[in-house]
A and B are shown apart, each in its own frame.
Chain A
Amino acid sequence: MIYLNNAATSWPKPEAVYRTADQYLRCLTGSPGRGTHEAALAAGRALLESRELLADLFGINEPEKIVFTSNATEALNLAIRGLLKPGDHVITSSMEHNSVARPLFALQTQGVEVTIIDCAPVGTLDPAAVERALRPNTRLICLTHASNVTGTILPIEEVGAIARRHKVYFMVDAAQTAGEVPLNVEEAGIDLLAFTGHKGLFGPPGTGGLYLRHPEVVAPLKYGGTGSQSELLTQPEIMPDKFESGTLNSPGIAALGAGVKFILETGLEAIRKHTRELTAILLERLKELPNVTIYGPSDVAMRVPVISLNIKGISPGEASAWLAARYDIVTRSGLHCAPLAHKTIGTLETGTLRLSPGFFNTAEEVEQVIEALRELVREVQKRDS
Chain B
Amino acid sequence: MSHQLTLFTFPSTFYALKAEKAVQNAGLKAKLIPMPRELSSLCGLALELETGEEERALEILKAVKLEKKVRVVKEKGLIAKIVEVVEYEPG
A297 interface residue, CB < 8 Å from B?
Answer: no
B80 interface residue, CB < 8 Å from A?
Answer: no
Pair A64/B32 contact, Cβ less than 8 Å? no
Q: Is the interface of B mostly helix, strand, loop or mixed?
A: mixed
Given the complex of chains A and B, what is the CA–CA distance between A64 and B18 in angstroms?
10
B28 interface residue, CB < 8 Å from A?
Answer: no
Q: Nearest B residue to A48 by beta-carbon distance?
A: B17
Identify which of A34, A36, A241 contacts B12 (C-beta below 8 A). Answer: A241
Given the complex of chains A and B, what is the CA–CA distance between A227 and B45 in angstroms?
10
Tell me which of B36-44, B49-57, B69-77 binds A. Answer: B36-44
Given A33-B43, A229-B41, A45 and B14 touching (CB < 8 A)?
A: no
User: What's the minimum C-beta distance from A226 to chain B, rounded to whole angstroms?
Assistant: 8
Pair B42/A229 contact, Cβ less than 8 Å? yes
Which chain B residues border A251 with CB–CB below 8 Å?
none
Identify which of B18, B42, B65 contacts A228 (C-beta below 8 A). Answer: B42
Pair B21/A238 contact, Cβ less than 8 Å? no
Which chain A residues border B42 with CB–CB below 8 Å?
228-229, 238
Which chain A residues border B21 with CB–CB below 8 Å?
45, 48
A267 interface residue, CB < 8 Å from B?
Answer: no
Pair A64/B44 contact, Cβ less than 8 Å? no
B34 interface residue, CB < 8 Å from A?
Answer: yes
User: What's the minimum C-beta distance from A29 to chain B, rounded to whole angstroms?
Assistant: 17
A239 interface residue, CB < 8 Å from B?
Answer: yes
Which chain B residues border A229 with CB–CB below 8 Å?
41-43
Given A36-B44, A45-B21, A231-B41, A239 and B12 touching (CB < 8 A)?
A: yes
Between B15, B21, B44, the greatest number of chain A beta carbons within 10 A of the residue's beta carbon is seen for B44
Between A33, A35, A226, A240, the greatest number of chain B beta carbons within 10 A of the residue's beta carbon is seen for A33
B13 interface residue, CB < 8 Å from A?
Answer: yes
Which chain A residues border B43 with CB–CB below 8 Å?
33, 227-229
Q: Nearest B residue to A229 by beta-carbon distance?
A: B42
Count chain B residues whose beta carbon lies closer than 8 angstroms to a beta carbon of A.
Answer: 18
A32 interface residue, CB < 8 Å from B?
Answer: yes
Given the complex of chains A and B, what is the CA–CA distance between A25 and B67 in angstroms?
32
User: What's the minimum C-beta distance from B66 to chain A, rounded to whole angstroms?
Assistant: 12
Which chain A residues border B12 with CB–CB below 8 Å?
64, 226, 228, 236, 238-241
Given A33-B43, A35-B44, A228 and B13 touching (CB < 8 A)?
A: yes
B33 interface residue, CB < 8 Å from A?
Answer: yes
Q: Is the interface of A mostly helix, strand, loop or mixed?
A: loop
Within A56-72, the residues touching B (CB, 8 Å) are 64
Given the complex of chains A and B, what is the CA–CA distance between A241 and B45 in angstroms?
15
A44 interface residue, CB < 8 Å from B?
Answer: yes
Which chain B residues border A51 with CB–CB below 8 Å?
14
A41 interface residue, CB < 8 Å from B?
Answer: yes
Given the complex of chains A and B, what is the CA–CA distance between A230 and B45 in angstroms?
13
Pair A48/B41 contact, Cβ less than 8 Å? no
Which chain B residues border A36 with CB–CB below 8 Å?
32-34, 44-45
Pair B14/A239 contact, Cβ less than 8 Å? yes
User: What's the minimum C-beta distance from B61 to chain A, rounded to whole angstroms?
Assistant: 15
Given the complex of chains A and B, what is the CA–CA distance between A33 and B12 in angstroms?
9
Pair A45/B44 contact, Cβ less than 8 Å? no
Within A99-153, the residues touching B (CB, 8 Å) are none
Q: Nearest B residue to A226 by beta-carbon distance?
A: B12
Which chain B residues border A226 with CB–CB below 8 Å?
12
> Using an 8 Å CB-CB cutoff, how does the interface string of A226-260 with B read, 1 for contact, 0 for none?
11111100001011110000000000000000000
Q: List 9 A-B contacts (CB under 8 A).
A: A36-B34, A41-B32, A41-B45, A48-B14, A48-B18, A230-B41, A236-B11, A238-B11, A240-B12
Besides A227-B43, A228-B44, 7 more A-B contacts (Cβ < 8 Å) are A32-B13, A41-B17, A51-B14, A64-B15, A228-B42, A240-B12, A241-B14
Q: What 3 A-B pairs come out closest when comparing CB atoms?
A: A33-B13, A36-B34, A228-B43
